Chain A
Amino acid sequence: MIPVWLLTILHYVSLITGACILVLLAWQSLKSLQEK
């Protein structure tokens, strides 16, 4: 059985990771647009 507190932390980590990746992708898209 996985403790509830661990699942909660993992869920927050997953959401923050997703948000960070999306920000990085947006930054990369802006960078390549500027290069063009």
Chain B
Amino acid sequence: MESGDRMIEYTMLAAYLAVLLWIGVRSARRVRSSDDYTLAGRDVPWIVVLATTAATMLGGGASVGMVSEVGRIGIAAAFVTCGWHLQLIFTGMFVAPKLRGLNLITVGDYIHDKFGPLARELAVVNSVVFLVGALAAQMAAIGTMTNTILGVPYSTALFIGAAVTIFYSTIGGIRAVVSTDMLQFVILIVGFGIASALLMSQQGGFATMEAAANEGQFHLTGHLTTLQLVSLFVAFLLGEAFVPPYVVRCLIAKDQHHAKRGVTGAGLFLLLFLPIVTMVLGTTAQINPEVQTAIENEKQALLASAAEDNLPLTEADALKQASQVTFPTLVRVTFHPFFAGIMIAAIIAAVMSSADSCLSSLATVVMEDIFRRHVKPEATDRQLLQVAQASTLILGVAGAVCAWFFSNVAEILLFVYDFWAPTMVLPFMVALFWYRESRVYAVVASMFTGATAAVIWRFILGSPMDIGPALFGFSVALVTFFVGLLHTPGKPHGQLFRPGYNKSDEETR
């Protein structure tokens, strides 16, 4: 690759980072209260809710990762991710209006309202585990993606990416996060849309692509078994259902209608846009010889580097890792360096915007669920704002340090996506559709057993029979819930199980 082209890419990335910093400074001027900082003053219109929700979903995995996977295993990879989008549509239709109507701040508030303080604490622990793991994993992804795409050393890329993300998140809170999400959303949609349209016209339509692609590329199931397909689909469907970054998107909307239209619209838009566009990009990458050569070269380099350091790396793992270069190589060999530079900046922005959403939600959990509830219930709004800002800074630095030390255990960090569903999805579903006070004990029991089952299935048994920990843990939680219903008394007894969010807390604010 010519050094001039690389310079254009660096310049585009530097310009993008500068715009992010400017957005952060501009958003900070609008932050006057903890409500502004954590919930954007609850005045966000639906189209902006749509953009920020879609941008949060569109992380590195859903963009670059999905193009690589379609190139590697076929369109089945894009098909299973429809679970993500269906989950968002469901959240928008049924959950968003209810949550927005209750004027809550965190997931813990909602669980407390329905199932009492013990369930709330379990929800808080789950939220923290999910957000810390996801934050560290996304921070690590900033380092690895920049390293793979631009050749910048991992540590340098992590330092710059994390510093910018932490800066604008700390000074501007969720307002800065929403504004940067809008920019990222526009760049990604313009970039992916134009790229797929141009590539489609270059290839001469789907019929030509189908003839040139690998056999089975256009099969809905691809090379996956039915069980693998179902397990993957369920993992996508439940893995991120009702996670704090999406719940926050429901709460920042102007009102219930805006929350419903924004979140449902994001799911619907992604369902219509993302799978087919990634199918075009991934399939084009598969039939482009230059992209395939780049993947092969990257694989050989990874294998050689692993052999030098005496690290165990199988050929299949090396190929999976090397396929990260699929999308950047595709845009470089197909488009003008200027457009390729925009796309590469957008890829890195996609990962950064997922990291900032986790960071912002984590600071809200610390402020509301830990500080205000357990440390200083009588705290003034100014103190709460300071706690949220300090938490964003400290947790952001901690996330970057985790990503620095534990970059080689990214897969363990990604387990948090399997850990959330078994514990939290069932309580939400019961609260929304089948709620009675007498079901509190059964729900709390299901939260304990679901989490334990997922941990045992993943770490002790090694996820046998191609069944993911999320699916297994959720099944165990479901069984526990129904067994619990038969063996628990009517009304909940004791302080720990008494539903009802403490309204007097709300009034003191």
Closest A-B pairs by Cβ, 7 of them: A18-B193, A4-B206, A14-B273, A10-B276, A7-B206, A14-B276, A17-B272
**A11 to B197 CA separation, bound complex (whole angstroms):** 8
* Residues of chain A within 8 A of B75, CB atoms compared: 2
Per a CB cutoff under 8 Å, which of A4, A8, A18 touches B273? A18
Q: Check B189–A21 contact: CB distance below 8 A.
A: yes
- Assess A17 versus B186: contact at CB under 8 Å? Given A10-B276, A11-B280, A28-B47: no
**Per a CB cutoff under 8 Å, which of B51, B205, B210, B218 touches A25?**
B51
Are the CB atoms of A11 and B200 closer together than 8 Å?
yes
Task: Tell me whether B45 is interfacial, beta carbon within 8 Å.
Answer: yes
- Interface set of B (CB-CB < 8 Å, partner A): 45, 47-48, 50-51, 75, 182, 185-186, 189-190, 192-193, 196-197, 200, 205-207, 210, 218-220, 269, 272-274, 276-277, 279-280
Q: Are the C-beta atoms of B197 and A22 separated by less than 8 Å?
A: no
- Bound CA–CA A9/B218 (angstroms): 15
For the complex with contacts A8-B206, A18-B192, A28-B47, 8 further pairs of A-B residues with Cβ separation under 8 Å are A2-B75, A2-B220, A11-B200, A11-B206, A15-B197, A18-B189, A19-B193, A25-B51
Let me know if B272 and A14 touch, CB within 8 A: yes
Whether A24 sits at the interface, judged by CB under 8 Å, is yes
> Does B51 contact A4, Cβ atoms closer than 8 Å?
no
In the bound complex, CA of A2 to CA of B279 (Å): 12
The binding surface of chain A is classed by DSSP as: helix
Decide if A33 is an interface residue (CB 8 Å cutoff).
Answer: no
Q: How would you classify the secondary structure of chain B's contact residues: helix, strand, loop or mixed?
A: helix
Are A25 and B272 in contact (CB-based, < 8 A)? no
Interchain CB contact under 8 A, B50 and A21: yes
A4 to B75, CA, bound (A): 13
What is the distance, in angstroms, from A7's C-beta to the closest C-beta of chain B?
5
Contact bitstring A10-36, B, C-beta under 8 A = 1, else 0: 110111011101101100100000000
A-B contacts, 30 of them at CB < 8 A, read A2-B218, A2-B220, A4-B206, A4-B207, A4-B210, A7-B206, A7-B218, A7-B279, A8-B205, A10-B276, A13-B272, A14-B196, A14-B272, A14-B277, A15-B193, A15-B196, A17-B272, A17-B273, A18-B189, A18-B193, A18-B273, A21-B47, A21-B51, A21-B189, A21-B269, A22-B186, A22-B190, A25-B47, A25-B182, A25-B186
Chain B residues positioned under 8 Å from A11 (CB to CB): 196, 200, 206, 276-277, 280
Cα-based distance from A25 to B49 in the complex (angstroms): 11
Q: Is there contact, CB below 8 Å, between B272 and A7?
A: no
User: How far is B337's CA from A7's CA once the two chains are assembled, in angstroms?
Assistant: 29
* Cβ contacts under 8 Å, B185 to chain A: 25
Q: For residue A3, give the distance in angstroms from its CB to the closest CB of chain B.
A: 9
- How far is B191's CA from A22's CA once the two chains are assembled, in angstroms? 12
B contact residues around A21 at 8 Å (CB): 47, 50-51, 189, 269
Cα–Cα, bound, A15→B196 (Å)? 9
CA distance A31 to B197 in the complex (A): 30
Report the bound CA distance from A30 to B193 in whole Å: 23
From B219, which residue of chain A is reached at the shortest CB distance?
A1
Cα(A22)–Cα(B205), bound, Å: 25
Q: A15 to chain B: which residues have CB within 8 Å?
A: 193, 196-197
Given A24-B47, A28-B48; A7-B276 close (CB under 8 Å)? yes
Q: Are B189 and A22 in contact (CB under 8 A)?
A: yes
Provide the residues of chain A in CB contact with B273, threshold 8 Å: 14, 17-18
Task: Please name the residue on chain A nearest to B217 by beta carbon.
Answer: A1
Which of chain A's residues have a CB closer than 8 A to the CB of B219?
A: 1
Chain B residues lying within 8 Å of A18, measured Cβ to Cβ, are 189, 192-193, 269, 273
Please tell me if the beta carbons of A17 and B276 are within 8 angstroms of each other in the complex: no
Question: Which residues from chain B contact A14 at a C-beta distance below 8 Å?
Answer: 193, 196, 272-274, 276-277
